[in-house]
Structure 1
Amino acid sequence: MQVKTMPPMTVLYYTTRTTFAGLEDIIGKVPQELQNEANRLQLFISGPQYWFYFGADGKPDTEFTLEVALPIKGDVNQSSAYQFKHLSPFKCVAATHEGGWDQLHLTYGKIIPWLFSQGMQMANDLECREMYVNVDFEEQENNLTEVLVGIK
């Protein structure tokens, strides 16, 4: 685990209110739609996809805000079915999760107690991010996800 500040970035993103149980409808579909839209708008995709969780508590039926984002460079004053925004630097505790996403809760289960043991506090909006460095739906042991828990 390490404390780090993620750099500012501009993203093309999708937002919704959902639950963990409702993520299956989003997982393969929305990231591909964002990539297609970035290509249609001739934007440069400048990094891996991110998922931002606001107010999620880990329980399957708790509703929270989810944003699926794609870092981009280019003209963000174009008309799109999706939204653009500029993200400020993000201070967080980061850890790499290797393997299936069904075990992501174990990584969060290490990060959160660790940050409290170090005298840190989670960000007021409980923002957590996941950066999908490598996605492999067929061989999930090949998944590589950087888990980022926002801190004050």
Structure 2
Amino acid sequence: MKKMMVMMVMMVVSEASIIEKTCKETPDFNLCVSLLHSDPRGSSADTSGLALILVDKIKGLATKTLNEINNLYKKRPELKYALDECSKRYKTILKADVPEAIEAISKGVPKFGEDGVIDAGVEASVCEERFEGKSPLTSLTNSMQKISNVTKAIVRMLL
């Protein structure tokens, strides 16, 4: 019984150290650790698996942002031009960038995965720039840029 408990503790320490070791190589250690520990797959993932988890986080945030954009059309019709641009940008993340990153990382071609991840951050930035003055999407845009930067750092470890 004691031996089994020691082995379980060693596994947990080993799993945590893989996430922590990987996240130390990213621009935002705390965000990286938080995102990876929030997904049950993180505890048993290798570097490619960690990158795929983060791509899923990009997908989730893009979906959340697109839903917020759709809500803003009703609440803030004066922002239609900027919201149209943002809608287009976030649909690109969901329909092009995320699938490109998933396929490339899964097939062992991380360079193309990196391109998709970088583009997700660029698309979010372009969306933010379309607002004249205060954007109602700044928080979500900043989150997308941060997650994209963390993901990019992990994908680069695969190169």
For this structure pair, what is the TM-score category when the shorter chain's length is used for normalisation? under 0.3
Structure whose residues are more often strand by fraction: 1
Structure of higher RCO (CA pairs closer than 8 Å, 6+ residues apart)? 1
| Larger CA Rg, structure 1 vs 2 | 2
TM-score, normalised via structure 1 length: 0.26
TM-score, normalised via structure 2 length: 0.25
